Amino acid sequence: MSSSSKGASLAFGQAVIGPPGSGKTTYCHGMQQFLARIGRRVAVVNLDPANEVTPYERAVDIAELVTLPDVMESLKLGPNGGLIYCMEYLEANCDWLQEKLAALRGHYFLFDCPGQVELYTHHSALKNVFAQLAKWGFRLAAVHLVDSHYCTDPGKFISVLCTSLSTMLHVELPHINVLSKMDLIEQYGKLAFNLDYYTEVLDLSYLVDHLASDPFFKNYRRLNEKLVEVIEDYSLVSFVPLNVQDKESMRRVMQAVDKANGYSFGDQEHRSLEALMSAAMGADFHFTSTLAVQEKYVQSQDKAVEEEVMDM
């Protein structure tokens, strides 16, 4: 896509990022199917050089340019160093990516990115690739997936909040944080607070108090208080809950992303009054999506309690 055509032809999409095991590839596959059913032409771009097998059809595959096993073998690097080299190699060969994407004009793009946290918190290669995409007329939103099981551990949840904040500030894209695998959250244990406490990142002092009850974290209360202050001072981090198997959950994430990258306000689709209102009223939208998941979670907890009583 040449610089002369970028003004006339915008391309919308998602940069799907997050730590290993957070469900990025599964999300790309599910979102591709979901968007295809509502009439969008979707192209999935695999930017993970370690992703050798994917459930989706790859419209563009970084393996044609560079692969992690080849880099590790030829340069004697470990997995982390190899991934960083691969992203730097992609940055240096952006003309290859530009040529591949130019053949897919008119599509909605899903970029399946690597699962190395350093690439999103302080390394610049992937950030520069996203910036180059913007120059070519791509309007992307970063979809940052975080495994929902971190909610069951206050210490890990504070760590996730810090990572999410760092990612938002470093990547410099419109950002949607997603709590993935919500259908499995009951397997990880009971939450200390209601789900909306975690998705809306409410008063974190309660989380610090909860941590203080653990002897291990008691001596680190001051540190946790300062970390929480940083998160609350920026007041940027919130989450959308996601269950890839639930169409309504996928629709809510799609609406949040469409609002973030501007797709909702374009002419690509017929936009009903409901779609416009959902884009305009972000707070109510998030509350509704959280409430629906919370009800399912509470029902699951109640059922578990009933089964325990029956077994007694």
Shortest CA distance to 294 belongs to which of 234, 213, 226, 239?
A: 239
How is domain 11-201+237-266+277-304 classified at the CATH fold level?
Rossmann fold (3.40.50)
Give the pLDDT confidence of 31-65 residue by residue, as tens digits: 999 999 999 999 999 999 999 899 999 999 999 99
pLDDT surpassing 60 at residue 289: no
Mean pLDDT of the chain: 85
pLDDT tens per residue, range 64-102? 999 999 999 999 999 999 999 999 999 999 999 999 999
Pick the range with the lowest mean pLDDT from 18-22, 115-119, 155-159, 283-287.
283-287
Q: In the predicted model, is pLDDT for residue 269 greater than 90?
A: no
Q: Which of 184-188, 228-232, 261-265 has the lowest mean pLDDT?
A: 184-188
Count of residues in the chain: 312
Q: DSSP H helical segments within the chain, as ranges?
A: 24-37, 68-75, 79-92, 94-102, 118-121, 125-135, 154-171, 195-199, 205-212, 215-218, 221-234, 247-261, 273-280, 282-311
| Tens-digit pLDDT profile for residues 217-258 | 888 889 989 999 999 999 899 999 999 989 999 999 999 999
**Predicted confidence band at 292 (pLDDT cuts at 50, 70, 90)?**
low
Domain ranges of the chain: 11-201+237-266+277-304, 204-235
Q: Using 50, 70 and 90 to split pLDDT, how confident is the model at 6?
A: very low
What pLDDT band is residue 205 in, cutting at 50, 70 and 90? Answer: confident
Q: How far apart are CA 233 and CA 5, in angstroms?
A: 41
Q: Residue 138 forms beta bridges with which residues?
A: 11
2 has a pLDDT exceeding 50: no
